[in-house]
Every structure is written in C-alpha cells, then in structure tokens.
Structure 1
Amino acid sequence: MTDTKPTVVILHDGTYPLAMLGINDIAHVRYATEDELPQALPGADVLFVWHFLSEAVAEAWPAATDLRWIHVASAGVDRLLFDELRHSGVVVTNSRGIFDRPMAEYVLATVLAFAKDLHTSIRLQDGKHWQHRETERIEGTAALVVGTGPIGRAIAAQLSAAGMSVSGAGRLARADDPDFGDVHASDDLHGVLGTFDYVILAAPLTEQTRGLIDATALARFKPTARLINVGRGSLVVQEDLVEALTAGRIAGAALDVFDIEPLPETSPLWDMSNVLISPHMSGDTIGWTEDLITLFTTNLRRYLHGNDPANVVDKQRGYVSGSEST
C-alpha cells in the first residue's frame, strides 16, 4: 500500500503540549528545535512553526527542498517572512481567529484599568494606604483602533459595547464600516490622532507600519490620551514613547509587545507609574495551545484532501488577503 501521509516538521522551543502528538495520526512528524531544523527539513512537505518567535526558518531555508506549506502558530508572520520565502511557491498560513476575542478583552481591561485607576489602587494596597480618588468614565470616550483585521474588529466590538465611540485606521479610508463606522487611511493618521482618548495598535508589522508611532505621531496625541499596543513592539519607536511619557505629552501606555522581549530590566518603562506592562500574553487564555493545534490539524486535513488551507497569507503584504489590517 502506498504511504500517502505527508511529512510534517514541527519547529518548537524545546517543549510542546501533549496534544501535539495527535498530529502523528495523520502525518509523519519530525520534531525539531532551531538547531535541528536544517536536518529535519529535507523531504518535508509541511512546516508547523510552533515556536512562532523563531527566525530560524530563513537560515534553514536551503534545506527545505520539498516544502509546500508553512503554518505559523500566531497571527503575525513578520518574524517568518524573508525574501526567498516571499518569492517562492510555498504557501504560508497563520492562526487567525484564535486570538481575536481574548485580545479584545485585554484591550477593554486596560482601558478600564486606566479609567478606574486600578493600577494605582494596587500600588496603594501594597502599602496599606487608603487614598480616595475620583476616576473617569469610559462611556462617550473616543478610541481609534489602528488595524482593521479580525483582531481590530473584535476590539471595536468590545469597546463599542462598553459605550465608547470607536473608529478605525486602515490601508484605505471608508465610511459606514459595519464595525468602525469611519475608517481613516493610515496615510492620514497624524491628522486624526488628536481627536482620540485611546489609540489601540492591532496592526501587523510591515514595512509600512514599522515605527508608525514615533515622536511626530506622539506629538499629535491629546495629553490625556493613552496608547495601547497589542500588535508588535516595532509599531512604536520605544525611545520616542519613553520621552513622550516622561514629558507628559501623553497620559499613559499599556504595552503587551516590545522591540526586545523579554523587556530588559534596564528599560525605564518598568518604573513608570502610568505604564502597564504585560509579557506578550494578551491573546493567551486557558486552552489557547490546544486551540492552535486544532486549527493546524483541521488545516492539515484540508491539505490531505487536496483543498486549499484556510488563512492563506499574502506574502507581499504580510497578512491574510481579504482581512485588511492597515
């Protein structure tokens, strides 16, 4: 009998969930760390990049002699894409859909934390200090979500349900969007930043979005505005953000992603009372790893039946076609 099982390489960081073993039922599986990847790739049909922070695929690329499809266990693919892959016939898919609602809930939580000054309450509680304060309402405040893909839309739904006025910023301007109402063109971003109380970054990292929020952009913010970044660290010029926060040109920032991760202990962001820091976890809720594996396994079954996989990434733009992000 002819063996029709594909060979799948799983790039991991030394550990992976037991649920991963279920892939063995439908494929020949090779598990590889970054160092082992060049030896594992020859003859493989599929690469599952479980270690989505890795950049090892580019170095191992010459060994990918038979590769037809790469799936990434993340929504962003900026760490994966390189010129040889972009110009190859290898299909790239991502894990769109897994993180939308959890990340939206994280954004709403940080908005509420700022408005209700919860971070200050925690600090005061640590010192057993009773200090009455007045807080803010979020109803009627204005939020701009930069990135109008599925994650951005989920964020818009959560903030709108909480009574906020939400607009979007995307690659193309348009009116009457079902989730955002008005969508501003990214090229016009500087002209509208000053009208929002919260600016939320949920865009993919591309050449067009790298350094999107720099000193010039931050100078356009309201001094009472907060920046929330759940996209990629490099969407923001971190040194410019530190300067703006120190000078009081913006009121605060909630940051889940950074240029360098983990954030170095020497970063001044750690010591700023108006900054909320989380370690790249806004989409990671209980059960998320199993969801990622289920998504890949479902896609692998489609592949086995000769169907196109879901969540195909436009390798030139850097995100899934049909879900405009910026």
Structure 2
Amino acid sequence: MKIAVPMYVREKDKAVLEAAAPGAEFVYGKDAAALQGAEVIIGNVSPKKLAGLTSLKWLQLNSAGADAYCRPGILAPQVQLTNSTGAYGQALSEHMLALLLSLQKKLYLYHQNQLQHQWKDEGEVTSLEGATVVIVGFGDIGRAFGRLCRLLGAHVIGIRRHRGAVPPDADEMGTLEDLPRFLARADVVASVLPGTPETTHLYDGKLFQAMKPGAFFLNCGRGNAVVQEDLARALTEGHLGGAALDVTDPEPLPADSPLWDVPNLLMTPHISGEHHLAQTWDKVAAIAARNLKHYLAGEPLENVVDRETGYKKSI
C-alpha cells in the first residue's frame, strides 16, 4: 500500500506514522509523482492535484477546515475524507487571546508609539473580567477559547449549529439564528467558523451595527465570513473598539487593500494554526496515526467530514 504524505513532517512525525502502518510504502512530498498511485494521502494538497488519482481511497487532512475538498467534483464519492479536528484548540485559542488582550490593553498603540519614540499615555483600557464574550463556532477551537476567557472572568456565550446542553466551557449557548440578539450584549465577538455557504459574508454592516458600541471583533475562522468593507467602516466610524484578523479574503491580502490602513485593526497572516506550535503538529500526527490503524483494521475512521456541511460528522 502506498501512502503519500504531502504535509510538513518532522523526523518524529515520520516515525509515528510509519509505526502505525508497518510494511507500507511511505512517500513524502507534494509533487505529482509522490501522489500518483497512492491509496492514502495524509496532508493537504491543492484540490486540483487530486484529479486523476484513481487509486485514492482515503484523504486525511492536516487541517480542521475541509471546505475546499467538499466541493462537487474534487473527490470521488467513494473516497473517505477526514480532518484534524482536535489538534488546533490550544494554538488558535492562545493566539486569539493574545490578539484580544493586545486590543483591550492597547498594546498595539504602545508598540506604534515605541517605533516613533513617543512616551504617550493612551488612556483607559478594558478587561475580560465581567465581559461578555460571544464565540461563534463552538467546536474544539471555540471551546478552548471559551475556557481561557472564563478563567479570566468572562461570561461566555457559545454559538453552534444545533441546540443542546450547555457545555462546561460556556455559560449560555445558542445557534446562528440567536446571534443578532446576543450581539447587543457582547463586549467581544470571536468567530472560528469554517467556510460554508451559510457562513459566507455572515458578518456584514447590519451585524456590526448590532454589536455593542466599543466591542471587539476577532476572526480566526475563514476570511470570506466577513464583508471586509463593512468591517473597515465600522472601525473607521468608531462603532467598534477594535478588531483582529488572522484570515482575510483573499489571501495573501493585496498590498493595496484598504484594510492595511484601518485604525484599531490587527492582522496576522493566517499563522495561528499549521505547525507554528509544536504541540499542534504532535496532535496532527497522532490523529493521522490512529486513523491509519483504524483504516488498516477496517474500522471506522475518526473525524470523518460531512461533505454536505463541511463539518466533522457527529457520532
């Protein structure tokens, strides 16, 4: 059995994967020759490269997001698709917390002042203690961020697709249809939504105006969830207190995009995940190795993606 591994791998990742499938042929790299003839692919590749891979039976993504692979015609119906849900909660939640605290404590303004050699007081700041945080997309990443916010004294409201019991990482729960009524209470709105037709351009001028004046907005999900012109307007006109984006639409963000010069906006170039945190990649490799063992034993795989929704299937 040929297993192609196009994702970033360290030597210890190779050892973990190869121990899960003794005797299999492992080929590392993203070139066409490495992918050709593979029964299993572990790692994200350009969807265009999947065309013509007639031997492929299972694609294990190194990402949690799977929307690019759920479009019609990308994968044959019989090809199993799994993702790495569960690997990114720590990395993204810590990144989001760092961005939020930088906004609340105005650290980005003080850094700008430092570069200009200015000793200047930027005035009042805010705290997570007693704040209401609405987290849109309350999966693994959203729950991890909710835990951090609650530890710092925030009241956490989670938003997910289906109604159910309130998990220990939140104080209240709702669905997307409840979002408008929660926005007026939110001091912080954090989005970690995947890319789906339902979430495209969800955050428009109407939703930003529904948010509490002075609130902060974070997006570490998908860039196309935000109408960027509307976000820029809400910040420029002073309705929002600040925003932080790790994702934009398109990526990379063009040099002439007006977002670069919007006040009170922090941006990072989609680096909160991937292999930037070593622990994340340990988890990605572990998920792939467990699934390899399941696959070889003919057992159900973990993190199977529902191609209709782009989400991990519920068990």
TM-score in same-fold range (> 0.5): yes
Q: Is residue 45 of structure 1 aligned with residue 39 of structure 2?
A: yes
Aligned residue among 101, 112, 115 for 2:101: 112
Partner of 1:180: 170
User: Per-residue deviation at 1:42?
Assistant: 4.8
CA distance in 1 between counterparts of 2:189 and 2:81 reads: 30
RMSD of aligned residue pairs (Cα, Å): 2.3
Equivalent residues of 1:55, 1:80 under 8 A apart = yes
Letter of the structure 2 residue corresponding to residue 89 of structure 1: Q
Q: Is residue 84 of structure 1 aligned with residue 81 of structure 2?
A: no
Aligned residue among 3, 6, 9 for 1:8: 3
Aligned residue among 205, 208, 214 for 2:204: 214
CA distance in 1 between counterparts of 2:146 and 2:88 reads: 14
Q: Count the aligned residue pairs.
A: 308
Q: Which structure 2 residue ranges, 5 or more long, are not aligned?
A: none
Equivalent residues of 1:8, 1:29 under 8 A apart = yes
Letter of the structure 2 residue corresponding to residue 30 of structure 1: V
CA distance in 1 between counterparts of 2:131 and 2:93 reads: 17
CA distance in 2 between counterparts of 1:221 and 1:244 reads: 10
Equivalent residues of 1:17, 1:289 under 8 A apart = no
Deviates further, 101-110 or 177-186: 177-186
Letter of the structure 2 residue corresponding to residue 11 of structure 1: P
Partner of 2:215: 225
Aligned residue among 26, 30, 54 for 2:27: 30
CA distance in 2 between counterparts of 1:44 and 1:122 reads: 49
Matches within 5 A, 1:1-326: 6-11=1-6, 17-19=10-12, 21-22=14-15, 23=17, 26=22, 27-33=24-30, 36-37=31-32, 40-51=34-45, 54-57=46-49, 60-61=50-51, 63-85=52-74, 88-132=77-121, 133-174=123-164, 176-283=166-273, 284-322=276-314
CA distance in 2 between counterparts of 1:29 and 1:175 reads: 43
Equivalent residues of 1:195, 1:222 under 8 A apart = yes
Secondary structure of 2:278's counterpart equals: coil
Aligned-pair identity in percent equals 34
Secondary structure of 1:156's counterpart equals: helix
CA distance in 1 between counterparts of 2:139 and 2:299 reads: 24
CA distance in 1 between counterparts of 2:314 and 2:106 reads: 38
| 1:67-108 C-alpha deviation (Å, 9 max, x unpaired) | 221111111011222213577021111111111012111122
Instruction: Describe the shift of the 1:147–1:129 C-alpha distance in structure 2 as closer, same or farther (beyond 3 A).
Output: same
Letter of the structure 1 residue corresponding to residue 200 of structure 2: R
Equivalent residues of 1:78, 1:204 under 8 A apart = yes
Instruction: Describe the shift of the 1:21–1:173 C-alpha distance in structure 2 as closer, same or farther (beyond 3 A).
Output: closer
Equivalent residues of 2:48, 2:74 under 8 A apart = no
Equivalent residues of 2:133, 2:156 under 8 A apart = yes
Secondary structure of 2:206's counterpart equals: helix
Q: Which structure 1 residue ranges, 5 or more long, are not aligned?
A: 1-5
Instruction: Describe the shift of the 1:287–1:191 C-alpha distance in structure 2 as closer, same or farther (beyond 3 A).
Output: closer
User: Per-residue deviation at 1:295?
Assistant: 2.7
User: Per-residue deviation at 1:129?
Assistant: 1.5
Deviates further, 266-275 or 283-292: 283-292
User: Per-residue deviation at 1:155?
Assistant: 0.9
Secondary structure of 1:143's counterpart equals: strand
Secondary structure of 1:84's counterpart equals: coil
User: Per-residue deviation at 1:139?
Assistant: 0.5
